[in-house]
């Protein structure tokens, strides 16, 4: 692998900054277009409301009103589709910006260069790391498919395809050996993948620069890349009583848990019951865990 130098990182930063500035300008224009489209459609929706009120007042549905409403609803549908198209374009721009920022962070990491706003995680206070993990969960994009479109792999509980390989910088659940010899699932970041050996190199997210692990694919579980919308794609969520691995709050380790309550709204977390022998029934009280940090359990449940 070619070494990444400080000069390379600076050039990459300048190029990324220019591209990000262009994308932000385009995003600003798309937001303005969205508002213009919404203002235009509000007038038509008001006409629909007034027409229905007149029909109720006159207590009749004449051919005139039927024709008028058909035209108004056709226009409303076209307005909604136009606004949806602009919003999807804006989401694409946001995804591009996030991708560029991630590429810049990875380049700096490989070169050992960090800005004041992005220090090495090995010197990062634990509270800061926990905040960053929470922000990462909150900003995970919501999958918004077209009518009849199924959620893609890595949307919510939908697993990755069989030939999927996590990219450099991706966050994964990794099964590693602890200091005491026991095995545990940790939150890790992919450093590289070797197609010749089918093994990953990953960094412990909590000990970057100190703990690097070489692991086979079966010891890696990619994290979701999109949140699933419970209102439109409930099948892409784990169901009640399903066994999962969930990131225990304020830690960087995954533990076995049962789904207590799936999310009801797109912004909701899972409510899970962690296995805990200190409780009479063997499970903790319900705790909230973000969709980003809940994955399918590869192990069979103990009897």
What pLDDT was estimated at residue 243?
97
What pLDDT was estimated at residue 48?
93
Q: Break the chain into its structural domains and give their ranges.
A: 6-118
The C-alpha atoms of residue 116 and residue 112 are separated, in whole angstroms, by: 13
The C-alpha atoms of residue 231 and residue 126 are separated, in whole angstroms, by: 35
Looking from the CA of 212 toward its CB, the CA atoms found within 13 Å total 8
Helix (H, G, I), strand (E, B) or coil at 192: strand
What pLDDT was estimated at residue 114?
47
What pLDDT was estimated at residue 115?
47
Q: Where are the alpha helices (DSSP H) in 112-170?
A: 126-138
The C-alpha atoms of residue 132 and residue 199 are separated, in whole angstroms, by: 27
pTM of the full structure: 0.74
Q: Which neighbouring-strand residues pair with 183? A: 177
What is the mean pLDDT of each successive set of 10 residues along the chain, which is 303 residues long? 50 75 93 91 92 87 88 92 90 87 77 51 71 91 88 95 92 89 92 95 79 92 96 95 96 96 96 95 96 86 42
Q: How many of the other CB atoms lie within 10 Å of CB of 285?
A: 10
Tens digit of each residue's pLDDT (9 = 90 or more) over 163-182: 999 999 999 999 998 777 78
Q: Which residues contact 232 (CB under 8 A, 6 or more apart)?
A: 144, 145
Residue 176 token pair: 């590693």
What pLDDT was estimated at residue 300?
53
The C-alpha atoms of residue 229 and residue 265 are separated, in whole angstroms, by: 7
Residue 69 token pair: 């409403």
Tens digit of each residue's pLDDT (9 = 90 or more) over 233-249: 999 999 999 999 999 99
Looking from the CA of 80 toward its CB, the CA atoms found within 13 Å total 9
What pLDDT was estimated at residue 45?
92
């Amino acid at each position: 692998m070619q070494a990444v130098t400080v000069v390379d990182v600076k050039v990459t930063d300048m190029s990324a900054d220019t591209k990000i500035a262009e994308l932000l300008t385009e995003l600003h224009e798309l937001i303005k277009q969205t508002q213009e489209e919404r203002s235009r459609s509000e007038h038509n929706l008001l006409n629909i409301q007034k027409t229905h009120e007149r029909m109720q007042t006159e207590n009749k549905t004449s051919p005139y009103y039927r024709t008028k409403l058909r035209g108004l609803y056709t226009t409303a549908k076209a307005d909604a589709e136009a606004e949806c198209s602009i919003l999807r374009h804006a989401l694409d721009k946001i995804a591009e910006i996030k991708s560029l920022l991630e590429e810049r962070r990875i380049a700096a990491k490989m070169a050992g260069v960090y800005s004041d706003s992005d220090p090495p995680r090995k010197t990062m206070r634990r509270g800061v790391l926990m905040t960053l993990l929470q922000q990462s969960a909150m900003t995970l994009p919501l999958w918004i498919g077209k009518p009849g479109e199924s959620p893609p792999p890595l949307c919510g509980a939908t697993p990755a395809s069989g030939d999927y390989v996590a990219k450099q910088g991706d966050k994964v659940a990794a099964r590693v050996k602890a200091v005491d010899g026991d095995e545990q699932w940790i939150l890790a970041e992919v450093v590289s993948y070797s197609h010749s050996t089918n093994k990953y190199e990953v960094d412990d997210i909590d000990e970057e620069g100190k703990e690097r692990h070489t692991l086979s694919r079966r010891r890696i579980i990619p994290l979701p890349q999109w949140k699933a919308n419970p209102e439109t794609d409930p099948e892409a969520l784990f169901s009640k009583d399903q066994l999962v691995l969930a990131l225990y709050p304020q830690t960087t380790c995954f533990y076995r848990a049962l789904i207590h309550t799936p999310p009801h709204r797109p912004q909701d977390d899972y409510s899970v019951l962690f296995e805990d022998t200190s409780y009479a029934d063997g499970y903790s009280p319900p705790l909230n865990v973000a969709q980003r940090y809940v994955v399918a359990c590869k192990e069979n449940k103990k009897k």
